[in-house]
Amino acid sequence: MTPTATGRPAGPVRAGIEVLDRDEDGRVTAARAGIAATEPVFAGHYPHFAIFPGVCVLECVHRAATDGDGAPAPADLAAVESARFSGAVLPGDTLDITLRWRRTEHGLRCDATTATGRGKSATVRLRYRTLGGAS
């Protein structure tokens, strides 16, 4: 993958992540992404009924989680511990992302939910290594 201006690899999702709130440590706790009908992943993804793929929802959560001061660097993602998809994300939707952080013996855990105007779309748990290398 080709790196972007921020040094991150260019992924399949072009949507920008808008940070809405942070905790006292600077970690994002609420964000949103506008899912445009022009997202490249919609081309050929279920002809006549485009759906934003679950892996792209995961990418939006990860990008929200790793945005800004105090957040783990993108390379520090240790695991996708769980991902459950409960509703479709469609072209033109706004994806609201709520993140809850906690320290664990293995680093940081991020429990996230995503929703559109139709309701919840996913529940995700990501694990990040801390600077000391624990995963």
Residues assigned a catalytic role: 45
3-class secondary structure, 129: coil
Cα separation, 123 vs 90, whole angstroms: 17
Q: Which residues pair with 85 in a beta bridge?
A: 122
Q: Angle 112-116-118 (CA atoms, 0-180°, nearest 5)?
A: 125
Q: Is 134 helix (H, G, I), strand (E, B) or coil?
A: coil
